[in-house]
C-alpha cells in the first residue's frame, strides 16, 4: 500500500477529477495510517419487497445510488435509487428488452450488475435463458445513463452449454484500470461443480479478451454450490465474495475468498472469519446474492492519472458498501427476497468484518 499524508491526499483528490461531489453520500473512511476504520454496519430490509440479487452503483461518485435486481413483478430488471444509501425507492425497469437471443418462453433476467465504463457509458451484465441452446448465457447491454433503458448486444457475450451454462456475471476494475468479468459456471444444473472464473475485458466493457482463470470451485462444505461472485480490491488484497448452498434454503450464506492478485490463486477464508453472514446473524434469513463495491475505486475510471492511482492504491477516503438479499418470510425464497445493505464494510489484511 502506498502511504500518503492526509493533506497530500486531499490535494491529489481535488486534482484527480472535477466530478467528485464535495459532500460524500455517506461518511468516507479516513486515510489509514494508525486511524481506525469504522465497522461495516448491516441494515435491512431497506427495500421490503421482492428485489433479489441486488447490484449497486454510485455513478460518477455522486448520489443518487442505484440498485438493480433479478426479474420480479416490478419488471425485467427493476431498479431503485437512494440519495443517502439508507432510503430506497423503486423507479422502473432498466432492461425492458433483454435481446432477441433470450427465450421468449423463459424471459426472466438474473443477477444484473451495472458498471460505469466512461463518464457517459454504462454496461449491464445479466443472465438470460438462451433460445438457441436452452442454457443460461451472459449478456451485456449499454446505456448513456444508469437508469437506461439499456440496449442489449445482439448475442450473448458468454455461453458454456456443455458445462450447464453460465450465470451470475459481475464486473470488476483492478488497480491500473484493467476491466474483468467474473462469473459462475452453472454446473449444479447437471449435478456438477460450480467453478467461478475471471477473464479480462476490452476497454468497451463487454468484449472478452485473453483467457479465463478459475478462482474457486464448489466443495462439500459449500453444499456443492458457490455462486453470486462479487470482487473488490482493498489495500493490496482482492476479496471475492460469494454465496454457497441452495438459494432457496436457510443454509444460503455470504462468504469470501482472498488473494493478492486479481486472477489468484484464491483462498477461501475459514471460521471464525467466514462466512460473513449466515441465517440468524443480524436478523437475516438465507442472506446471499451480494454485490460489494469499492466506491472511490469504482468511481475513478477516467482518466487514470498518477494522482488518481496514488489515491486508489492508498485507500484515501475510500469506503466499501454492499447490498444483498434476505428471505422475506424468514424461511425460503418462496415469499420473495428483500434488499439489505452493509455500509462501510471493514476489510483488513484479508479479513472482512461487520456489526449488526
Residues with catalytic annotation? 53, 227
- Count the Cβ atoms, other than its own, within 10 Å of residue 51: 29
Q: Cell numbers 460489494 label which residue?
A: 292
* Phi and psi at residue 130, to the nearest 5°: -70, 130
How far is the C-alpha of 205 from the C-alpha of 138, rounded, in Å?
13
User: Does residue 356 contact residue 340 with C-beta atoms inside 8 Å?
Assistant: no
How far is the C-alpha of 159 from the C-alpha of 349, rounded, in Å?
35
- Residue ranges of the alpha helices (H) in the chain? 6-16, 295-299, 306-314
Cell of 356: 449488526
Residue 68 gets which letter from DSSP?
E
* Phi and psi at residue 189, to the nearest 5°: -70, -15
User: Does residue 170 contact residue 199 with C-beta atoms inside 8 Å?
Assistant: no
DSSP codes of every residue in 196-265: EEEEEE-TTSS-B-S--EEEE---GGGTT-EEEEEEEEETTEEEEEEEES-TTSTT-EEEEEEESSTT--
As a residue count, the chain comes to 356
How far is the C-alpha of 151 from the C-alpha of 96, rounded, in Å?
9
- Count the Cβ atoms, other than its own, within 10 Å of residue 347: 26
| Closest by CA position to 146, among listed 299, 351, 347, 272 | 299
User: Does residue 334 contact residue 326 with C-beta atoms inside 8 Å?
Assistant: no
Amino acid at each position: 500500500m502506498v502511504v500518503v499524508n492526509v493533506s497530500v491526499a486531499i490535494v491529489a483528490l481535488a486534482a484527480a477529477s472535477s466530478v467528485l461531489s464535495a459532500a460524500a453520500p455517506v461518511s468516507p473512511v479516513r486515510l489509514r495510517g494508525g486511524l481506525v476504520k469504522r465497522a461495516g454496519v448491516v441494515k435491512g430490509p431497506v427495500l421490503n419487497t421482492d428485489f433479489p440479487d441486488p447490484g449497486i452503483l454510485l455513478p460518477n461518485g455522486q448520489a443518487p445510488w442505484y440498485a438493480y435486481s433479478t426479474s420480479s413483478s416490478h419488471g425485467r430488471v427493476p431498479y431503485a435509487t437512494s440519495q443517502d444509501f439508507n432510503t430506497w425507492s423503486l423507479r422502473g425497469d432498466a432492461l425492458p428488452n433483454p435481446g432477441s437471443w433470450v427465450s421468449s418462453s423463459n424471459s426472466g433476467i438474473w443477477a444484473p450488475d451495472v458498471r460505469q465504463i466512461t463518464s457517459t457509458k454504462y454496461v449491464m451484465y445479466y443472465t438470460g435463458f438462451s433460445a438457441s441452446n436452452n442454457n443460461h448465457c451472459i449478456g451485456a447491454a449499454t446505456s448513456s445513463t444508469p437508469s437506461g433503458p439499456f440496449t442489449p448486444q445482439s448475442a450473448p457475450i458468454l455461453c458454456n452449454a456443455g458445462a450447464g451454462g453460465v450465470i451470475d456475471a459481475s464486473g470488476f476494475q483492478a488497480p491500473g484500470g484493467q476491466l474483468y468479468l467474473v462469473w459462475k459456471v452453472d454446473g449444479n444444473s447437471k449435478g456438477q461443480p460450480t467453478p467461478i472464473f475471471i477473464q479480462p475485458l476490452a476497454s468497451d466493457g463487454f468484449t472478452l479478451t485473453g483467457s479465463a482463470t478459475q478462482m474457486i470451485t464448489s466443495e462439500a462444505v459449500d453444499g456443492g454450490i458457490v455462486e453470486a461472485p462479487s470482487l473488490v480490491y482493498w489495500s493490496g488484497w482482492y476479496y471475492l465474495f460469494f454465496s454457497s448452498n441452495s438459494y432457496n434454503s436457510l443454509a444460503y450464506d455470504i462468504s469470501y475468498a482472498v488473494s493478492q492478485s486479481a486472477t489468484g490463486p484464491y483462498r477461501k477464508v475459514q471460521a471464525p472469519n467466514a462466512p460473513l453472514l449466515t441465517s440468524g446473524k443480524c436478523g437475516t434469513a438465507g442472506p446471499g446474492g451480494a454485490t460489494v463495491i469499492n466506491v472511490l475505486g469504482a468511481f475513478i475510471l477516467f482518466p487514470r492519472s498518477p494522482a488518481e492511482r496514488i489515491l486508489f492504491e492508498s485507500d484515501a477516503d475510500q469506503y466499501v458498501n454492499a447490498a444483498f438479499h434476505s428471505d422475506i418470510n424468514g424461511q425460503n425464497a418462496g415469499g420473495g427476497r428483500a434488499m439489505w445493505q452493509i455500509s462501510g464494510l471493514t476489510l483488513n489484511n484479508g479479513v472482512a468484518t461487520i456489526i449488526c
